Structure formats: structure tokens, C-alpha cells
Amino acid sequence: MERRAFITGAVALGASTLLPAASKAAVSFAGQTITILVPFGVGGGNDLWARFLAPLFTKYLPGNPVVVVKNSPGGGSVSGANLFAATAKPDGLTALVSSGSTQFPYLLGEKRIRYDYKKLQFVMAGPTGGVAYISSKLGVDGLKSLGKLKGQQLFFASQGVSSLDMVPLLGFRLLDLDVKHVTGFPGRAEGRLGFERGEFNIDYQTTTAYVRSSLPLVKNGEAVPLFAWGLIDKSGKLVRDPNFPDLPHIEEAYEIVHGKKPSGIEWDAFKAFLISGFPAQKLLLLQNGTSPEIVEAYRNVCRLMQKDPDFIKNRDSMIGEYDQVTDAEGETLFRQATNISPEASTWVREFLTRNYQVAFE
């Protein structure tokens, strides 16, 4: 399998030339301490993302400030994001890490949310991908033979139906797969181990985990890959993941199974959570009212880090095989990841309540 990073066209060039040099020079964080607020505990993917990026912000922000990571877990990341919205000043000294776990409750319109993405300043996005696969014991060799599974129930290890695993919940349903989602698993690694033991017969893993741990199952004939989630290109369209160029993305998978392009409220709802959970899984944001010059200084770090030797050397092992996205391309991702029609949001809420007894406050 060919493994290539998702190279974004707007990262290296573009907005770095939008502001005059004098404006850039006016921003300096010399002698300051910048806090990256992570609304999760220590050691998770979002925490690792922030800690990997922090030295690069020290290196490339004007004035070379001290950059520290502060963890503020609680409420599935909602508590920390609420804290940021209520207390962070628009001076660039505090940035927020947001992820799909922060974005999903917002898309669902939960009343506990006190942050509004429409009022936050986008800096950069950290995409990720993933691949869905099934047990070879099912006798299916790909999407075109999924019809063999009609009337057969599959089993999937889930972290929770309103967590990031809402994406496979809705995605498998779109492909007319009868999947029982067994909830309560702490992470995807435990789900994969259950798949290996034969306790579950359908699974997905994010790109790094799939390449490291699930691809050997495919090569050994124990698993059959079905599709990759896909990425969003500069025009906002779903495209194949360059790390898995031979696998269809989920929209192509739908067309293969149903013989037509997806449409309708269920697809609209799924796509909103898909983008929020994968192509724009991690976001770095500044407070409402932050000056364009400060936002530009932050975005310039994203552009510069793509060429940084340490970033290039360690990126794949630390944060995955995808470049970070900023400027116009990142803005497109940000808007798609944090917007959903009222009708689509209501559809998901009613679906989860009716089928999984999820209570929304």
C-alpha cells in the first residue's frame, strides 16, 4: 500500500502574503507565556497533538514565547471549551484545542454548550483518516458482495453512540449493514483486540492504528478492507485518502452498494459528523475578537512548521500521516466541521433517542 501524506496546497503559500511586513512585525510575544488549553486529560491524542506542536509555536511565533499546555478535562471536553469561551482574552495568549468530541455536542445543540464556533477564530486543523474492515470469515471480499450479509447481524465494539463512533454508527447504517454496537469500550485499540479474538466481526481504525495493527490482519487474510472515510479537498468535496488510494471513500462506497449518489437528510447529517470527526478532527482556535495580525502570526506557524526538519521527521509517528491545514483550505474544513442544518441535527438527536435512549439535556 502506498503511504503518502495529505499535502495541502494552501499551507505553504497564500495568506503569508496577505498582510504587509510592518503588520507582521508589530506582533510580538517576547517575554510572554502562551497557554494551549486542552479540554482533555494528559496522554490522549489531543494532548499529544498540542504537546508536539507547542515547541514549534515557541520557535516560530514572533518573540519566541514560552508555550505551555494546560489540561482541563471534564464533560467530554465541553467543560474546558466552556471555560475558554468564558475566560480567554482576545490577546493570543490562550489558544483552544477542539476535537470531534468537542464539536459533536455543538452540532447536536446540547444546552450545556457555552462556546460558539461562529465566534471563534480559526488557526489550523489536524486531519485524520480511518479504514473500515470486516472479518474474512463472513465470506465477503469487498463492497460489491455486501449483499451476502443481508439478514446477518454484525458486531462492533463502540466507545459510545454519541462519541466519535457515531460516524461508523451512521455510516454502516447508510450501507444497509445490520450492526449491533456494543458500547462501553475505552478506545479503538480495545475494539481491534476484540476483533482479533473473534468477538466482533466489523471494525474501523484511524490511519496510524490501521497501518500498524490492522493491515497485518488484512495481509494474513483475517480481515477484508471495505472503505476509507476520506478527506476533504480544497473545494470542500470528499476525496480518497492519499494514504489509501486504492480504497473508495465512504461516498463512493455508498454508490457501489446502492448504485446512486447519496442524498437526503440522513446523508447530510452523517457528512457533518464525518467531517467533524475525521478531516477536521482537531482544531486550534483563538478567542473571538483576536486581531487579524495575531491570527496571521499563528497561521504562519502552521505554514512554517510544514518545512521544519523536526516536524517532518516526527510527524508520522507523533500525530499521523497528514499535514496540518490552515488558510482558505482550513477555513473550508472549519466551516463544514462546525455547521449542520437544524433539520439534520434534529434527525440525529431523534435517531439516537429512539434507537439508543440517548437523553439530551
pLDDT tens track for 167-210: 999 999 999 999 999 999 988 999 999 999 999 999 999 998 99
List the beta strands (DSSP E) in the chain.
33-38, 66-71, 94-99, 121-126, 130-135, 154-157, 179-182, 202-206, 223-228, 231-232, 238-239, 282-286
Closest to 49 measured CA to CA, from 336, 315, 330: 315
Q: Is 9-127+280-343's fold the same as 130-276's?
A: yes
Closest to 32 measured CA to CA, from 65, 63, 70: 65
pLDDT at 361: 66
Count Cα atoms within 13 angstroms, Cβ side, for 96.
31
Give residue-wise pLDDT tens across range 240-289. Answer: 999 999 999 999 999 999 999 999 999 999 999 999 999 999 999 999 99
Give residue-wise pLDDT tens across range 63-98. Answer: 999 999 999 999 989 999 999 999 999 999 999 999
Which H helix or E strand runs over 267? helix 265-277
Query: Which CATH fold topology does 130-276 show?
Result: D-Maltodextrin-Binding Protein; domain 2 (3.40.190)
**Phi–psi pair at 289, nearest 5 degrees:** 90, -5
Q: Which CATH architecture has domain 9-127+280-343?
A: 3-Layer(aba) Sandwich (3.40)
Give residue-wise pLDDT tens across range 198-241. Answer: 999 999 999 989 999 999 999 999 999 999 999 999 888 999 99
d(CA 224, CA 238): 23
Q: Is 39 exposed, middle or buried (0-12, 13-18, 19+ CB in 10 A)?
A: buried
Q: How far from chain centre, in Å, is Cα 169? A: 16
Domain ranges of the chain: 9-127+280-343, 130-276
Task: Report the DSSP beta bridge partners of residue 66.
Answer: 33
Place of cell 482544531: 283
Q: Would you say residue 16 has pLDDT above 60? A: no
> Do the beta carbons of residue 293 and residue 21 sit within 8 Å?
no
pLDDT at 24: 46
pTM score, whole prediction: 0.89
pLDDT at 309: 95
d(CA 321, CA 309): 15
pLDDT at 14: 40
DSSP state of 325: B
* Entry field: residues in the chain: 361
